[in-house]
Amino acid sequence: MGAKLFGQMPDGAQIWKCELRNAGGLSVELLTLGATIHRILAPDREGRTADVVLGKDGVEGYLSKGALAAATIGRVANRIQGHSFSLGGEAFELDANENGSTLHGGSGNYAGRVFSLVEATDSRARMVARDFGEGGFPGEVAVEVAFSLGDDGSLRIEYTAIPTRDTPINLTNHAYFNLAGHGSGPIDAHELQIEADFYTPSDAEDIPTGEIAKVAGTPFDFTSPRVLGPAMRELAASGDAHGGFDHNFALRGSGWRKIAVATEPASGRAMEVYTDLPGVQFYTANHAAPGAVGKDGAAYGRHSGFCLETQH
């Protein structure tokens, strides 16, 4: 379908928007800023369409502090303790952008990077960018993100990363979903199932302790569908200080498989998540500022969306 101009970066670089559509009435809008999912317009059981992804109206919103909504995240999604690591006997110092650690790649985060749109059809879009090691990471990485929308309702995201030298790489997508509609309030009525018998406990700085713990008998047991409101209250009652879920689950199996199902009973919308990665970070937007303004003037508050960030 080609692309339309969405806006400009402060340096004048143009940001483009393209749209994928399928025969079932599903459409997906993508931005070259951060290889971001801008909208997913999905019909409910009555055929009424709503946008189920949180986001911003313009470039300035997507560049605001902490705005990771639905962007491609790299070079390393999640946290690196002490903003440093050693590789091949060499030490690397990174940006410290969260409690002395590096979160989502620090200043090199792909959310603020302008990708080039190299393919755009009704069903597929491909974007490429060059990571020059911003934030302290070694070497450069050629990055490609391909989005494909199938008539079966599947949105497939494929990542390719080719580095010039050894480096940690961990790419994900940071979409916040609300299957009732992006401006419909808290996700408390959603139901979620995660195919994971274990999770990785973390310390007060959200760094994994190294333990791989069983979910059975804990608030982290999503092996059968659970309503999120009561699940978050159970987690808080256990003494967990996150204010909701922000935890990595160690997934069952290996290879390409279904790892989660989310449903919203009132609309009838449901979403299945597939991956070939070993983990998924489940996050319930615990730190969203009350009254934060999103797309179409919608108010985004705490727990207004959920993320399922598949990861290494």
Candidates 205, 220, 206; CA nearest to 250 is 220
Instruction: Choose, from 19, 29, 191, 309, the residue flagged as catalytic.
Output: 309
Instruction: Give the span between the Cα atoms of 87 and 82, in whole angstroms.
Output: 15
Distance separating alpha carbons of residues 186 and 9, to the nearest angstrom: 32
Phi, psi dihedral angles at 237 (to 5 degrees) = -65, -20
Return the structure tokens found at 260. Answer: 């989660």
Q: Rounded to an integer, what distance in angstroms lies between the CA atom of residue 112 and that of residue 264?
A: 31
Q: Which of 184, 191, 185, 187 is nearest to 265 (CA)?
A: 191
To the query of whether residue 144 is one of the catalytic residues in this protein, the response is: no
If you ran DSSP here, which 8-state letter would residue 44 be given? -
CA-CA distance, 63 to 206, in Å (whole number)? 24
Active site residue 309: yes
By the 8 A CB rule, do 226 and 192 touch?
A: yes
Q: Which of 174, 182, 247, 303 is catalytic?
A: 174
Enumerate residues 6+ apart whose C-beta is below 8 A from 36.
Answer: 30, 55, 62, 69, 70, 71, 72, 111
Mind telling me the catalytic residues? 174, 309
